[in-house]
Structure 1
Amino acid sequence: MAGLFPRKDWLDGEELVGRLLNSFGDDRKLNVDVKEFPERYEVTADLPGFTKEEITVEYDSEILAISAEHSISKEEDTGRYLRKERSTTALRRQFVVKNVAEDQIAAAFENGVLTLTLPKIEADRPPRKKIDIQ
């Protein structure tokens, strides 16, 4: 009788929980590309369904932070929801981006895509110091 059912079926607890946890946040993730050019960095973020008023971009202490929050207000209709997945969505990503001309950062938002241009500045780096080993 034991041979009638496979030992590892689709309800295997550890595998099922692992799959669920690995895919849980995939649809609520802020996808971002960061590209470096000789004179600038370019950041592109997908924010479908958001308006530019719902997006905040901050640059402070070499940290670029992108956040977006969208809320659906309660609708006063008499219908009954069979499924409700749209309510509040909040996304946030942070990146370390060094040597940026903060006052020259430009942002554009079109068709659900945020594009940031971060011009580079030359860093005043002290020359490397060789440490003698005793």
Structure 2
Amino acid sequence: MSETRELQVREKQEVNVPAEQTRPGLVFSPLVDIFETDKEIVLLADMPGVSTDNLDVDLRENILTLSAEVVSGKGENEQDILKEYAVGKFYRQFTLSEVIDQSRIEAKLTNGVLRLVLPKVEKATPRKISITS
């Protein structure tokens, strides 16, 4: 029997960091969806307003770090009437296991959604073992 989950829409959430911040401004944790196939894990991160110039995907010591900055689209002579869209930084980290082939990770940003394809190493791919007699 399969379990179904209802998609829950959430607002951007500010990161609650235990350490002191060294830079002013808001820091958000991007919402993610993670999918798995036999050959890869796919991570989708919602980062509205982020451009490829302001996005950094870093991998060090099995830690995958997503960081980005959203800047205001307000023009120089424009004044706020209503401001619901918060600007600031996005930041989120993931620990990668040994099943990920770190040299083949791919990233693509389309319409504010970052898609990371994390290929599995060959030995982690499920396969059928033939039996001989």
Common fold: TM-score over 0.5: yes
Q: Matched residues in 1 for 2:66 and 2:35: separation?
A: 16
- The structure with the larger Rg is 1
Q: Which protein is richer in helix relative to its size?
A: 1
In structure 1, the residue corresponding to 2:53 is in which secondary structure?
A: helix
Please give the residue correspondences for 1:71-82 in structure 2 after superposition, counting only pairs within 5 Å.
71-72=71-72, 75-77=75-77, 80-82=79-81
Partner of 1:25: 13
Alpha carbons of structure 1 residues 24 and 115: separation in structure 2 relative to 1, 3 Å = closer
Q: Matched residues in 1 for 2:59 and 2:12: separation?
A: 29
Partner of 2:93: 94
Partner of 1:50: 50
Unaligned runs of 5+ in 2: 1-10, 15-27, 125-133
Q: CA deviation at 1:96?
A: 1.1
Q: Matched residues in 2 for 1:75 and 1:24: separation?
A: 23
Query: Does 2:75 correspond to 1:114?
Result: no
Q: CA deviation at 1:71?
A: 2.4
- TM-score for the superposition, normalised by structure 2: 0.60
Q: Matched residues in 1 for 2:86 and 2:47: separation?
A: 16
- TM-score for the superposition, normalised by structure 1: 0.60
Q: Matched residues in 1 for 2:87 and 2:113: separation?
A: 19
Q: Is the 8 A contact 1:48 1:113 kept in 2?
A: yes
Partner of 2:131: none
CA RMSD of aligned residues (A): 2.7
Identity rate, percent: 31
**Paired residue type of 1:94:** Q
In structure 2, the residue corresponding to 1:107 is in which secondary structure?
A: strand
Once the two structures are superposed, residues 99-125 of structure 1 have per-residue CA deviations (whole angstroms, 9 ceiling, x without a partner) of: 2222211111111111011112247xx
Q: CA deviation at 1:98?
A: 1.1
Alpha carbons of structure 1 residues 25 and 107: separation in structure 2 relative to 1, 3 Å = closer
Partner of 2:19: none
Q: CA deviation at 1:64?
A: 1.2
Q: Matched residues in 1 for 2:31 and 2:107: separation?
A: 17
In structure 1, the residue corresponding to 2:44 is in which secondary structure?
A: strand
Q: CA deviation at 1:85?
A: 5.3
In structure 1, the residue corresponding to 2:30 is in which secondary structure?
A: coil
Q: CA deviation at 1:68?
A: 1.1
